[in-house]
Amino acid sequence: MKTGLQQSARLGQELRANPRLYQAMDMLYMPLIDLQQHLKQELLENPFLELVEEGENGEAEGEEGTTEGELDVAAEEPEAPPAAETTDDEAAWEDLLLDGVDEDGARAPRETREYVEPVTIEARDLSDHLRDQVRLLDLSPRDHLLADEFIGNINDEGYLTATLEQILSGINAVIAEAEAAAEDDREAPRFTMPEVERMLRTIQALEPAGVGARTLQECLTLQLHEAGLVDTLAERLIREFFDDLLAHRWVEIGRRIGVAPGEVQAAADAVARLTPKPGLGYATRAADYLTPDLIVERIDGEYLVFVNDGDLPRLRVSRAYQEVARDKRKFDAESKEFISSRLSAAQWLIQAIEQRRQTMLKVMHFIVDRQKEFFEKGIQGLRPLTLREVADAIGMHESTVSRVTHEKYVQTPRGVLPLKFFFSSGLRSSEGDDVSARGIRAAIEKMIAEEDPHAPLTDQAIVERLERDGVQIARRTVAKYRDQLGVLPARLRKRL
């Protein structure tokens, strides 16, 4: 076998996506707030784009300034129009357009402008709340150091994530590093386990009740002590019968300790009112700003769809820049190419915005037509719908519909909903109609909310009720939907 380098020629065809196609898909994917920032950035970067100010007749001017003939003026290089008298305004625009171009026609490097994304202000969390309380305690600097080590090992749920041995080792390592950095011969005393255990009790006495616990049992016990429920049946259930408590074995627990099952259940109700994750009440939550991309309103008995683009920057191609760009005698070949590309990009962006708008309207119009019963009757009237059905109906690809519905919200008479809300699988009723899975879950939730707590509905009983309503469904499907709703089985919901 001969080895070495070889050279060969191959002729073939391959598909390459236009970079602008990727940009158009990204724009379709963007929620309204992201699109606003994108257009503002484009307005800064492209000199041929300008903002239509409020009150201007932007549509007429935009249409006159963005025709195909004017789009290609820089590329086709037609004969320059007769020279006219140059006004001061025209000279200013010409200087602005030629800014960054050397005398020999070469473009000088343009200043890069970086867009800064606005950020939310800093919010206080659980550790800040705990440190504020520790500062009010009468502790020595040494104890403050140990308290800070504890707080640093408490997670957002309020649990201590390190063992006492690990905390002891960690704080003593900090002292050793400080001694080495100070280059001092004096040796600071190390912490001991009794000091760590004493500080644990101090931390667990802080608010919220249950903070600093190492297990769920310890967390619930701390909360009972804070409420003054010491040496009660509820505390005994947590301490001695925790597994049985989770399994709702009231009769068995009552038999073992000689208490009526009703009393056991009442004590378990007291435990259920406690907070298993006390730290979440102080967890930092990012400020989520939700702006609907579409609006559905009922007007004269009809549901009308609008695009909520009132806050979007309205862009048009600058006529002043186009007038300057027509005179090709001022530019060399490289500058002409730059002007042509920028002018073409500006025109394309305006068209892409309108295409995005029309695509969203098409998708939402079909959803409203398909889900009219939902708008009239509520979630029980929601019908099954898939992306493929919408794509086939409006003559677009399924991926396009997926991009349109990604993180988009619509304001409706029944609240602000994500577009994905209207899509769900379906079941077949006895009459041959399709029933939405989301509607089935809502029906199951309503049945359980209205059931007799002393005789809760089993999954099979729910199946039989749904069959009476004409919905064919398997018991395992009911169990799956019940789990999705966070509802316990009938045995665990039963009240004595």
How many residues does the structure list for the chain?
Answer: 496
pLDDT tens, position by position, 140-195: 988 999 999 999 999 999 999 999 999 999 998 888 887 777 666 667 788 999 99
Q: Give the separation between CA 466 and CA 481, rounded to whole angstroms.
A: 13
pLDDT of residue 14: 57
pLDDT tens, position by position, 189-245: 889 999 999 999 999 999 999 999 999 999 999 999 998 888 899 999 999 999 998
427 near 471, Cβ under 8 Å?
Answer: yes
Q: Give 452's strand partners.
A: 455
Phi, psi of 414 (to 5 degrees): -105, 20
Q: SS in 3 state form for the chain? A: CCCCCCCCCCCCCCCCCCHHHHHHHHHHHCCHHHHHHHHHHHHHHCCCEEECCCCCCHHHHHHHCCCHHHHCHHHHCCCCCCCCCCCHHHHHHHHHHHCCECCCCCECCCCCCCCCCCCCCCCCCHHHHHHHHHHCCCCCHHHHHHHHHHHHCECCCCEECCCHHHHHHHHHHHHHHHHHHHCCCCCCCCCCHHHHHHHHHHHHCCCCCCCCECCHHHHHHHHHHHCCCCCCHHHHHHHHCHHHHHCCCHHHHHHHHCCCHHHHHHHHHHHHCCCCCHHHHHCCCCCCCCCCCEEEEEECCEEEEEECCCCCCCEEECHHHHHHHHCHHHCCHHHHHHHHHHHHHHHHHHHHHHHHHHHHHHHHHHHHHHCHHHHHHCHHHCCCECHHHHHHHHCCCHHHHHHHHCCCEEEECCEEEEHHHHCECEEEECCCCEEEHHHHHHHHHHHHHCCECCECCCHHHHHHHHHHCCECCCHHHHHHHHHHCCCCCHHHHCCC
Q: What percent of the chain has pLDDT over 90?
A: 26
Q: Is the pTM of this model over 0.85?
A: no
Give, in words, the CATH class of 426-493. Answer: mainly alpha
Q: Where are the domains of the chain?
A: 19-75+87-106+312-351, 126-282, 294-308+353-422, 426-493
pLDDT tens, position by position, 462-483: 888 888 877 778 888 888 888 8
Q: Give the separation between CA 221 and CA 228, rounded to whole angstroms.
A: 11
pLDDT per residue as tens, the chain (496 positions): 566 677 777 776 654 545 666 667 777 788 888 888 888 888 888 888 888 776 665 444 444 433 333 333 333 333 333 433 444 443 343 443 444 444 444 444 444 444 444 555 566 789 999 999 999 999 898 899 999 999 999 999 999 999 999 999 999 888 888 777 766 666 778 899 999 999 999 999 999 999 999 999 999 999 999 988 888 999 999 999 999 988 889 889 999 999 898 899 999 999 999 999 999 888 766 556 678 889 999 998 899 999 888 778 888 888 877 777 776 666 677 777 777 788 888 888 888 888 888 999 999 999 999 888 888 888 878 888 888 989 999 888 888 888 888 888 999 998 899 998 888 776 655 554 556 777 788 888 888 888 888 888 888 888 888 888 777 788 888 888 888 888 888 888 888 7
